Amino acid sequence: MEVETSSGTAERGAGAGAQQQPPPQPQPQPPAKKKRALPGMPDPDAEVIALSPKTLLATNRFVCEICNKGFQRDQNLQLHRRGHNLPWKLRQRSGKEVRKRVYVCPEPTCVHHDPSRALGDLTGIKKHFCRKHGEKKWKCDKCSKKYAVQSDWKAHTKTCGSREYRCDCGTLFSRRDSFITHRAFCDALAEESAKARAAPPPPADEDGTSASAGAPPPQAPLPPPAPVPAPAPPPPPAAAPAPAAQPEQRDRDAALDQFATPAPPPVTAPPPPPVAAPNDCVSSSSSGVAPTSQSLLSSMFAPPSVAQAPQYADPIGVGAGGHQERAVPAKPPALCLAPNASSSLFTAPVPADRQQFAPPPPPSPSPHMSATALLQKAAQMGATSSSSSFLRCLGLDMSSSSSAPPSSSGQQQQHHHHHHQETMQVPLPASSLPEWPPRLQPEPSPMLSSGLGLGLPYDATGGPVSLPELMMGQSTLFSAKPATLDFLGLGVSPTGASTSRGFPTFIQPIGGAVSLAGSATVAAETFGAAHGGQANPWERNPSSSPIL
Amino acid sequence: MMQFTHTAPPPPPLHPNGHGLGLGLYLDVGATRGGGGARPWSSSSSTTTLGGSGYFPSSAAASKISLGNLNSTGCMEQLLVHCANAIEANDATLTQQILWVLNNIAPADGDSNQRLTAAFLCALVSRASRTGACKAVTAAVADAVESAALHVHRFTAVELASFIDLTPWHRFGYTAANAAIVEAVEGFPVVHIVDLSTTHCMQIPTLIDMLAGRAEGPPILRLTVADVAPSAPPPALDMPYEELGAKLVNFARSRNMSMDFRVVPTSPADALTSLVDQLRVQQLVSDGGEALVVNCHMLLHTVPDETAGSVSLTTAQPPVSLRTMLLKSLRALDPTLVVVVDEDADFTAGDVVGRLRAAFNFLWIPYDAVDTFLLKGSEQRRWYEAEVGWKVENVLAQEGVERVERQEDRARWGQRMRAAGFRAAAFGEEAAGEVKAMLNDHAAGWGMKREDDDLVLTWKGHNVVFASAWAPS
C-alpha cells in the first residue's frame, strides 16, 4: 500500500514501520480482492533494494551483544539495548527526505526479481520469498498442510478444522474436501477462470504470496492503511506477526488463493448457497403436498383429504393441476382411490392423514408415492377389468356404480400422465354423489374397532397387543355382537348395496375376511409368526434416536 | 374422513399436534362417527383423535388404540414377509389385509423403523400391482412407473456435492479409493481413471486436488466416465456429462493439471461392453507409461449377476454371468489398480422374500442414520429418503434387467475379483487415517474397521460399505 499512498507511509515501508504495519494480507472478501492492484507495481522513483536469500531468511539478525538475544528488527534491538543501559538510537523519521524503498526477490526466475515488479515492504518480500521459494517446514498436525512461514502456520492451526474455506459464491465450508468438491462444480470458478484467461496473466502465486506482498486496495477493510504521521513512530511491538489478528480470514484466504486465479475475481452477486432450496424444486402447489409422503398408503384407505372432491367434478385437475406436476403423486387428491367409497372407517385411523391438512411444508415429489400412483392406476384398470382382482379388495368396486366410461379415464390418463388425481376424479360417478355423505349410524365403540378388522381390546395405556390378537380379534368383541358383523358388511355381497348401511363397499373385503371364521384362521396362521418377532434378536434399537 | 359429509368445502383442517407419531396406531374413530355437525378438526382438543362425538363412553381414552409392540422391527419385518408371501401366492385378500395393517403401523413420517417399513410397504404395493392376480393392470403400471420416474429429484452438481457430503455413505469410498489411487499411481506421468460410479464424478475433484499436489508434480489426467443414464440408479444429475466434464477440466486447470475428459454411453445390462471396448482400443495404442485405474463406486452391482442369467461366449466354455464377464474383461486391460466400493449387503436372492429380508436388515441403516444429519421435513431429507425408497422398490418390485440393485457382500466380491485374476492390495495406514479423519466429521455412529485387506464403513457396528483395492495377480 505504501506504493500508492503518501510518502509517509512509504517511509514506514522502508523503515521499521514496515514491521509495525500489518503486512498486507489477502483480503478476506473476494470483492475486495478484485479491487486490489496487481502486486509489485512500485513507484518508479522508489529505491530498489535487493537482499540476499540469507538476509531474507535470517531471523533475529539483530543481536544484543550483552545477552545474545536476537531481534528481527534493529528498532527492537535498540529498544532492548535501552534496558541494558546501553546507548540506543531510534531512527528518526526525517520526512520527505527518505526515499521510498521497494524490494526485489533474489530468485532470478521470479517475476518479483524484476525491479518493475518489486514489492513495497520488507515483510512482504520476506514472506514472499519464504512462501514461494522457501522450504515448507511448518506442518499442521491435523491436516498435514505445510507452511513456509510460521505465522501462516500459526494462523492455520488456530482455525484448522473450523470454518475456514469460503467459496467465492459465499458458501462456507469447514472441510477441505467439501470445499474442493463444491469449488470444482461451482460457477464461481468457471467465471473466475474465464476472467483469468481474458486478463493478462499475473504471476500465479499458489499460496497467496502475490496477494500479501502486493499492494492491498485502498479500500481494504483491514488492516486499515492509516497513514501514520511521519515523525517518531512509537517503538514497534516486537515482531508480532500482524496476521495473527485475523487468522481466520487469513487462512481462509490462503485456501482461496490456492484456487483463485490471480486475476481480480468477478464481482458477481454471490449465488445463493447451494444447500438452500433450489428454485426448481419449489412447487407452487399450495395444498398439503409434502406431508403426504408420510402416510403413503393411507391413500389406499383414506378418502382424499380434499373433502369436496365428490362435489366438484375435477377440483384439483382443473383448479390446480396445471402447475403441480411434480407433486401430483403425493397429493391428497391422488389418494382419491375410491372417492365414493370414502370409508369413514379407514380415514379415521391414520393420524398422519391429518397432516395433509397441515400448512404445507415444501412439496414432496417423493418416489414413494409412485406406489400409490400405481394403485390408482391399478384401480382404474381394475374398474374396467376383472372384478375379482386385487383391486377389488382395495374396495374399488367400480362396477357397481361406475357411470363414467373407462375410455374417458383412459384419455385423461394419456393427457396427464402424472395428474393422477385427475384420472381418478374423472370416473367419479355422478350418481354416487347423493349418497356421498355416508349415513353413519351411531355405533358402540367396541364395534368400531372390530370394524377395523382389528378387534382390538381397547387399551388406553398403549400397552402391547400382540398381533394374533390383533388379526384374530378378541372373540368377544368380534363375534359377540351381530351389529359388529353387520358393520363389517358380512352377508352383503361385495358388489352389493353396502351403502344401505351407510358403509362403502370399500371396507367389506377387509372386515369380511377377518371376521369370517375361515379368513380369521388364515390370518391367525399368517401372523402366528409375529410372536417370534418379538423375540427377534435384532440388536438394533428401534427407538432410532440419533446417537450423537 | 368426516369432511366428506359436508357439502361445502371445509377449510383445510389444522392439526398442529395430532400426529401421534411413533406411538403406534391412533384410530380416529371420532371422525367416523361425528355425523354432519361436529368438526373434529376444528375442536381445540387436537391432540386426541376423537372428535367430541358423544357416542363414546370413554371418549379420548377409547379413541386411542395403541398397537404397542407392533412397532417393533421384528414384527414389521414379519408383516412385510407375510405380505410378500401373500402377494406371491396371489392371495389378494390377505395381501390387502396386511397392507392395511402395515399402513397403519408404519406412517411414512414416523420413526426410522416406521419409515423403513413404509418404504417396503410401498415397494410391495408396487410389486403387487404387477404380479399375480393383478397382472391385468401391468400396462397401466408401466405407465405409472414411467411417470413416477419423473419425480426423482434431479440434482445440480453443486447440490449433489453438498448432498453427498452429508453422510459418509459415499465419502467413505471416495476417501479410501482416492488414497489408494494416489498411492498406486505414484510416479506415473499419465493417469487414466475410469470412473464407474453412480454419483456423477463427485469423487473426482478431491482426486484432482490430491494428484495436483503430489510431490513429483501433477500428472496428466485422463478421465473416462461411464454414462449409464437410462438405467442409472439415483441420484440423478440435472446436467449433461459434457458440461460436468468441462467443469472438471477447468478445475484441473486451476490446479495446473492438464486433463482430458471422455464420456462413454454404456449399459450395465450388457456388462458395459461399449466402454470396455473403448478402453481396450486405448490400451492398444498406449505406450505403457500410463497408469490405468478402474474406480468402481457402487456401480458394479448394477451389472447382472448369475441370478439374472448367464451368457455363453463360446460353446466351449460354460456360460458366465455378465458380472463375471465384466471383471474378466477389466482384468484383461491389465489395470494398475481396481478399486471396488460397494454396499456390504446381498440383494441377489432369487425369491422376493429373501431379498426383502436382506434389504430390510440393511436399509434400516440409512433411515436410522438420517436423523443425525437432516432435519425432518427438510427437502434434502425427502431426496435422501426417496433415494432409499427407490432402492427398496427396485430390489422388491423389479425383476430381470430392470432390477439393478444387485448388491453382493464383501466376501462375494472378493471371490469374484480373485477368480477374475486379481489380488488384494491392502489399504495403507495413510488411507485408513484419512478415512478416520473423514469420519470425525460425521456422527459418532459411523466407524471404520479393517476386514482382511479391505476397509469397511460401519454404522453402530454394522457393516455398511466396503472398499477394496485390487491389482492384477
**What ipTM was assigned to the predicted interfaces of this complex?**
0.82
Of B24, B27, B152, the CB nearest to A449: B27
d(CA B425, nearest CA chain A) in Å: 25
CA distance A139 to A544: 41
For cell 522450504, the residue is: A135
**Does residue A482 sit within a domain?**
no
Half-sphere exposure of B421 (CA within 13 A, CB side): 14
Q: Which amino acid is at A209?
A: T
More confident residue, B162 or A304: B162
| pLDDT at B191 > cutoff 80 | yes
Of B65, B66, B103, the CB nearest to A300: B103
pLDDT single digits (tens) A407-425: 444 444 444 444 444 434 4
Q: How confident is the model at residue B395 (pLDDT cuts 50, 70, 90)?
A: very high
Interface test with B, best of A521, A544, A547 (most B CBs within 10 A): A544
d(CA B314, nearest CA chain A) in Å: 42
Task: Identify the closest residue of chain B to A346 by CA–CA distance.
Answer: B1
CB B227 within 8 A of CB B196: no
**Does residue B459 sit within a domain?**
no
**Does residue A65 sit within a domain?**
yes
The CATH code of the domain that includes B194 is 3.40.50
Three cell numbers, residue A155 = 494462523
**Does residue A80 sit within a domain?**
yes
d(CA A207, nearest CA chain B) in Å: 12
Q: What is the pLDDT of residue B450?
A: 95
Judgement on whether residues B221 and B331 belong to the same structural domain of the protein: yes
Of B13, B256, B372, the CB nearest to A548: B372
CB contact under 8 A, A347 and B122: no
Which residues sit opposite A103 in a β-bridge? A49, A119
How are beta strands B446-451 and B422-424 bridged, if at all?
A: unpaired
d(CA A273, nearest CA chain B) in Å: 9
| pLDDT at B105 > cutoff 80 | yes
As a dihedral over the C-alpha atoms of residue A301, residue A305, residue A307, residue A310, rounded to 10 degrees, the angle is -50
**Does residue B57 sit within a domain?**
no
pLDDT single digits (tens) A144-202: 777 888 878 877 777 666 657 888 898 888 888 999 999 999 998 888 888 777 665 44
**Does residue A78 sit within a domain?**
yes
Judgement on whether residues B131 and B96 belong to the same structural domain of the protein: yes
Longest dimension (CA), chain A: 118
| pLDDT at B239 > cutoff 80 | yes
Give the Å distances, CA to CA, from A77 to A83, A87, A390, A392. Answer: 10, 11, 95, 97
CA distance A313 to A328: 17
**Does residue B209 sit within a domain?**
yes
**Confidence (pTM):** 0.52
Provide the 3-class DSSP secondary structure of residue A512.
Answer: helix
As a whole number, mean pLDDT of residues B19-25 equals 35
Judgement on whether residues B81 and B176 belong to the same structural domain of the protein: no
CB contact under 8 A, B253 and A193: yes
d(CA B359, nearest CA chain A) in Å: 14
* Least confidently predicted of A376-390, B44-58, B211-225: B44-58
Q: Which residues on A lie below 8 Å from B151 (Cβ)? A: 326, 329, 365-367, 369-370, 418
User: Would you list the DSSP string of A165-227?
Assistant: EE-TTS-EESSHHHHHHHHHH-HHHHHHHHHHHHS------TTSHHHHHSPPPTT-SSS----
Q: Which residues on B lie below 8 Å from A391 (Cβ)? A: 134, 137
Three cell numbers, residue A258 = 490456492
CB A10 within 8 A of CB A43: yes
Q: Which residues on B lie below 8 Å from A362 (Cβ)? A: 379
What sign does the CA torsion over B83, B85, B87, B89 have? negative
- State whether residue B2 sits within 8 Å of chain A by CB: yes
Q: What is the pLDDT of residue A120?
A: 76
CB contact under 8 A, B125 and A543: no
CB contact under 8 A, B28 and A353: yes
**Does residue A278 sit within a domain?**
no
d(CA B419, nearest CA chain A) in Å: 34
For chain A, the domain total comes to 2
**Does residue A36 sit within a domain?**
no
Judgement on whether residues A50 and A129 belong to the same structural domain of the protein: yes
d(CA B194, nearest CA chain A) in Å: 18
CB B46 within 8 A of CB A355: no
> In the predicted model, what is the mean pLDDT of chain A?
52
Judgement on whether residues B300 and B350 belong to the same structural domain of the protein: no
d(CA A459, nearest CA chain B) in Å: 6
For cell 485502498, the residue is: A218
Task: Identify the closest residue of chain A to B115 by CA–CA distance.
Answer: A294
**Does residue A519 sit within a domain?**
no
Q: What is the pLDDT of residue A354?
A: 39
Q: What is the pLDDT of residue B67?
A: 47
Please name the residues between 66 and 105 in chain B that touch chain A, using a CB distance below 8 Å.
66-75, 77-79, 81-82, 85-86, 92-104
CB contact under 8 A, B153 and A305: no
**Does residue B29 sit within a domain?**
no
Longest dimension (CA), chain B: 88
d(CA B319, nearest CA chain A) in Å: 37
Q: Which residues on A lie below 8 Å from B173 (Cβ)? A: none
How are beta strands B446-451 and B337-343 bridged, if at all?
A: unpaired
Q: How confident is the model at residue A464 (pLDDT cuts 50, 70, 90)?
A: very low
Q: What is the pLDDT of residue A153?
A: 82
| pLDDT at A446 > cutoff 70 | no
CA distance B72 to A533: 8
**Residue B121 domain boundaries:** 68-149+346-403
Q: Which amino acid is at A35?
A: K
Of B92, B103, B238, the CB nearest to A297: B103
**Residue A160 domain boundaries:** 146-197
CA distance A304 to B9: 12
pLDDT single digits (tens) B424-465: 999 999 899 999 999 988 998 999 999 999 999 999 999 999
**Does residue B14 sit within a domain?**
no
Q: Which residues on A lie below 8 Å from B109 (Cβ)? A: 291, 293-295, 352, 355
CB A25 within 8 A of CB A39: no
Of A295, A308, A463, the CB nearest to B68: A463
CB contact under 8 A, A370 and B159: no
For chain B, the domain total comes to 2
Task: Identify the closest residue of chain B to A377 by CA–CA distance.
Answer: B140
Provide the 3-class DSSP secondary structure of residue A59.
Answer: coil
Task: Identify the closest residue of chain B to A262 by CA–CA distance.
Answer: B254
Element (DSSP H or E) covering residue B29: helix B29-33
As a whole number, mean pLDDT of residues A438-455 equals 41
Beta-carbon count within 10 A of A407 CB: 9
Judgement on whether residues B79 and B142 belong to the same structural domain of the protein: yes
Phi, psi of B277 (to 5 degrees): -60, -45
Judgement on whether residues A115 and A155 belong to the same structural domain of the protein: no
| pLDDT at B81 > cutoff 70 | yes
Half-sphere exposure of B317 (CA within 13 A, CB side): 9
CA distance B444 to B436: 11
| pLDDT at B334 > cutoff 90 | yes
Judgement on whether residues A54 and A129 belong to the same structural domain of the protein: yes
Element (DSSP H or E) covering residue B154: strand B154-155
CB contact under 8 A, B206 and A448: no
More confident residue, B318 or A371: B318
Judgement on whether residues B172 and B258 belong to the same structural domain of the protein: yes
CB contact under 8 A, A351 and B49: yes
Q: How confident is the model at residue A91 (pLDDT cuts 50, 70, 90)?
A: low
Q: Which residues on A lie below 8 Å from B259 (Cβ)? A: none
Q: Which residues on A lie below 8 Å from B367 (Cβ)? A: 544
| pLDDT at A271 > cutoff 80 | no
Please name the residues between 180 and 199 in chain B that touch chain A, using a CB distance below 8 Å.
none
Judgement on whether residues A131 and A150 belong to the same structural domain of the protein: no
CB contact under 8 A, A329 and B148: yes
d(CA B322, nearest CA chain A) in Å: 29
How are beta strands B190-197 and B154-155 bridged, if at all?
A: unpaired
Judgement on whether residues B277 and B422 belong to the same structural domain of the protein: yes
pLDDT single digits (tens) A210-231: 333 333 333 333 333 333 343 4
Judgement on whether residues B120 and B178 belong to the same structural domain of the protein: no
